[in-house]
Amino acid sequence: MAGKNVLIVYAHQSAGSFNAAAKDVTVELLTAQGYKVVVSDLYAMGFKATATKEDITGELKNADHFRYGEETKVAWEENRLSADLVQEHKKVAEADLIIFQFPMYWFSMPAIMKGWIDRVLTQGFAYTPEKRYSQGLFREKLAMLSFTTGSQESMFNSNGINGDMNVTLWPIQNGILYYCGFQVLAPQIFWAPPHITAKGRSSMLEGWRKRLPGLLSETPLSFTPSDSFDTSSGFQLKSEVKEKQAEAEYGLTVGHHLGKPLPPNNQFRPTLCLSSA
């Protein structure tokens, strides 16, 4: 069960945006429930998106061939990271739940938020080669995406022009959040708020208000645990796992589909996502 500290990593330029309204609702409702809510407003902070050697104080391990991951790991171990990263690390360390609030840009997140991922989730602090996925360093923490789309819901399915939203979300939810060990809650998707009525937008926010009180007691999404893979064969699925799935109708996950149809709604739950209908 998660504790009482929530970090919202927020990326939108306008205080009049739907994302700002969703963020404000989150702060209001969770604060009223007794949670301590901290917001990293990336644009307001002027957060630097690029991962560079300026993120490290003192001498580099190898100035001739700069490797960001290796250098920041050493700097983290030696308390030589830049002040802004130290501040964000403290917020992450204290958080029981992290909510990423953003508009979907190019089937992903805004560059400034990707920069937060690149710079804040440093090796050693957020993951190691031995501590990742179900054995990850953040496995006692929850995380989730809350975002708006520019396209209608009907465009994000297996027949729609944008393709299956489950596939779109896999690199972020599996490759970033679950990789660091987070228990990933189903995302809150606000479908195309610019293209619906004011009443429709109010209805979407009301749906988010109704979800928030029970948010931290929800069952996380399902991912394939690390012990399903054989380290001696290059982290391939164990033969017994594949044999067990041989007669299954669907694959294990979006990524580990075993050549079968993708498991329905593996990366989001439509009942929790709000349609413009």
Tell me which residue has tokens 């391990």: 61
pLDDT value of position 2: 58
pLDDT at position 37 over 80: yes
Interval 152-200: pLDDT, tens = 999 999 999 999 999 999 999 999 999 999 999 999 999 999 999 999 9
| pTM of the model as a whole | 0.95
pLDDT at position 274 over 80: no
Domain made up of 5-226+264-272: CATH architecture: 3-Layer(aba) Sandwich (3.40)
- Cβ(56)–Cβ(82) below 8 Å: yes
Give residues with Cβ within 8 angstroms of 72, minimum separation 6.
51, 55, 56, 81, 122, 123, 124
| % residues pLDDT > 70 (the chain) | 98
As given in the structure block, the two tokens for residue 200 are: 């429709």
pLDDT value of position 275: 58
Interval 200-222: pLDDT, tens = 999 999 999 999 999 999 999 99
pLDDT value of position 276: 47
Considering Cα of 102, then 174, then 82, then 66, what sign does the dihedral take?
Answer: negative
As given in the structure block, the two tokens for residue 51 are: 């991962």
Question: Stretch 221-229: mean pLDDT, rounded?
Answer: 94
- Within 10 angstroms of residue 111's Cβ, the number of other Cβ atoms is 14
Give residues with Cβ within 8 angstroms of 42, minimum separation 6.
9, 10, 11, 112, 113, 116
End-to-end CA distance of the chain: 34
- Cβ(139)–Cβ(35) below 8 Å: no
Q: Which of 61, 119, 60, 54 is nearest to 89 (CA)?
A: 119
